[in-house]
Amino acid sequence: MNEWVVIVDMDQPGNRMAVAMSGDDDFSCATFEFVEEISELKKRHHLGVFVWWALNFVTGAVVEVY
């Protein structure tokens, strides 16, 4: 079950966005099953220079993505 969403810290107060990829730069509410999926996405995404967080909306856990 997909439980994780991505939060990207754009280094500006209040300017965080949930992001997900659908093959391009379409920001949507898609979810991920594992933090590892998000980590792989960060490595190849143009927003990878920013700080990424993974939020588990079921448990409330938040993990910094490297």
Q: What is the per-residue pLDDT across 32-56, written as a single tens digit (0 to 9) for each?
A: 999 999 999 899 888 888 888 888 9
Instruction: Select the more confidently predicted residue: 64 or 23.
Output: 64
Dist CA 30 CA 3 (whole Å)? 10
Number of domains in the chain: 1
pLDDT value at residue 27: 44
> Cβ contacts of residue 18 below 8 Å, gap of 6+?
5, 6, 7, 27, 29
Range of the domain at 13: 4-65
Instruction: Select the more confidently predicted residue: 15 or 63.
Output: 63
Distance (Å) of CA 53 to CA 9, 36, 59: 8, 12, 15
SS3 31: coil
pLDDT value at residue 25: 47
pLDDT value at residue 63: 93
